[in-house]
Structure 1
Amino acid sequence: MTTMAVIPEGPLLDDAAGRLVRPYTVSGGRTRPTSKLDLLSMVKSTGRVKHTQLGIDHAEALGLCSDPISVAEVSAHLRLPATVTKVLLSDLVDCGAVTAGEPGPAADPNDVPLLEAVLNGLQRRL
């Protein structure tokens, strides 16, 4: 099980400055996830790990996974680069907090209209 550092409470986002904690700090300097995840991978909480057992970024990511959600959506909600989000989510997979799976058959990674819809949704969120 991966040890997840607890970050002191306080604002992680500043409206004017953006994220106050650098992405490499969130991922512990790691750049590669231990689980195979892509932007369309679906993650869902298992309910086996409590938010209070995790660091703030891991807990925030876990909170988004109560229903199946894509890695891309988690990344957009957290305002983190996809690579950092994949590292966080793979930590959660490793400790049994979330399960990860391939997208359903309806999600073709070469489906241009689908990808455009995802991009438009992400842009609206940011």
Structure 2
Amino acid sequence: MAADPLRAPHDWLDHDAGPVVRPYAMTQGRVAPSGGEFDLVAFVVATMPEAPLSPSMQPEHHAIVGAAWEPMSIVELASKLDLSLGVVRVLLGDLRSAGLISLYEPPAATQPHDVDVLKAVVNGLRAL
């Protein structure tokens, strides 16, 4: 039987999508960022955007530092790079440990919600 010229020689390679890499392969099986958790609406900014990165860093690390030359939320960063949030969180932990990025959590994310404000919102919605 003749081989299909459009079919990739390997099952893990798709000509349209490129090579498929599982998220756990990008994070070496890690599921939590080093140095503790952070909020997904926290802002990421590269500390030295033009600084050369270690050759041991993965291409995704390089992409994150390149995309974070201006402050961007973690959710936006994951969307822009087309990576899952879990992978981005783990890679950001690596970059934060290496001192290549800074994370800034908005004050609203770190402080508890004001109950009076929430009640006013509910009352306003009921009035509609």
**Structure 1-normalised TM-score?**
0.64
Structure 2 residue 70 is the aligned partner of structure 1 residue 31: no
How far apart in 1 are the matches of 2:42 and 2:20?
A: 28
What stretches of structure 1 of length at least 5 have no aligned partner?
Answer: 1-12, 111-126
How far apart in 2 are the matches of 1:57 and 1:100?
A: 18
What stretches of structure 2 of length at least 5 have no aligned partner?
Answer: 1-12, 114-128
Aligned partner of residue 24 in structure 2, secondary structure? helix
How far apart in 1 are the matches of 2:47 and 2:23?
A: 25
How far apart in 2 are the matches of 1:103 and 1:19?
A: 37
Q: Show the counterpart of 2:66.
A: 63
Q: Could you tell me which of 95, 98, 102 is aligned with 1:99?
A: 102
How far apart in 2 are the matches of 1:105 and 1:24?
A: 32
Moved over 6 A (4+): none
* Contact 1:52–1:59 (CA under 8 A) maintained in structure 2: no
Structure 2 residue 81 is the aligned partner of structure 1 residue 78: yes
Q: CA RMSD in A?
A: 2.9
Aligned partner of residue 51 in structure 1, secondary structure? coil
Aligned partner of residue 33 in structure 2, secondary structure? coil
**Structure 1 residue 14 displacement after superposition:** 6.2
How far apart in 2 are the matches of 1:19 and 1:62?
A: 22
How far apart in 1 are the matches of 2:15 and 2:77?
A: 19
Aligned partner of residue 99 in structure 1, secondary structure? strand
Deviations 1:80-123 (A, max 9, x none): 211111001111000000001102559x9x9xxxxxxxxxxxxx
Q: Show the counterpart of 1:42.
A: 43
Q: Give the total of aligned pairs.
A: 96
Change (3 A) 1:23 1:64: same
Q: Kindly provide the amino acid, as one letter, of the partner of residue 40 in structure 2.
A: L
How far apart in 2 are the matches of 1:30 and 1:38?
A: 18
Larger Rg computed on CA atoms? 2
**Structure 1 residue 20 displacement after superposition:** 1.9
